[in-house]
Amino acid sequence: MTTLPQPNVLKIMVIDDSSTIRRSAEIFLTQAGYQVVLAEDGFDALAKINDHHPSLIFCDILMPRLDGYQTCALIKRSARFHATPVLMLSSKDGLFDRARGLMVGSSAYLTKPFSKDSLLSAVREHTADTVSK
């Protein structure tokens, strides 16, 4: 779904190799008034991030080619996107997984499957300093 850019509307990137997860997140976020950029994996995300400048990024952990930890680390190494919140998405909810996410610079960890409320709550919590709808 492509939407025209609107001033003061947050742009959120969702990186996940599952089309179901991407579609669910897109529906929840667009219904809440956010602009959404979708990426199928880390390489796809890195190719799109400079063009779209998202205010917040949701990133799956288990993906082919470039996993979520590597993707997050690369985003956080960028001077331009170092401050952009990256929230890890995973069906795993272990302490080790959460700790590893924090080590690579993620801001939070959201367990899949997520609800509309938990997704939108995470957006509000991590974009409080950003102009939003």
Q: Are 28 and 120 in contact (CB under 8 A)?
A: yes
Nearest Cα residue to 14 out of 4, 2, 23, 5: 23
The per-residue pLDDT for range 5-15, each reduced to its tens digit, is: 555 789 999 99
Q: Is residue 133 part of a domain?
A: no
The per-residue pLDDT for range 78-131, each reduced to its tens digit, is: 999 999 999 999 887 778 888 888 899 999 999 999 999 999 999 999 987 665
Residue 42 has pLDDT above 90, yes or no: yes
Q: Where are the alpha helices (DSSP H) in the chain?
A: 19-31, 42-52, 68-77, 95-103, 116-126
Q: Are 65 and 36 in contact (CB under 8 A)?
A: no
Number of domains into which the chain is organized? 1
Q: Is residue 40 part of a domain?
A: yes
Q: Is residue 111 part of a domain?
A: yes
Find the farthest-apart pair of alpha carbons in the chain and give their distance in angstroms, rounded.
Answer: 40
Note the pLDDT of residue 1.
47
Q: Is residue 130 part of a domain?
A: no
Q: Is residue 117 part of a domain?
A: yes
> What is the domain-level CATH number for residue 118?
3.40.50.2300
Q: Is residue 81 part of a domain?
A: yes
| Euclidean distance between CA atoms 68 and 5, whole angstroms | 27
Q: Is residue 6 part of a domain?
A: no
Q: Which domain holds residue 99?
A: 11-125
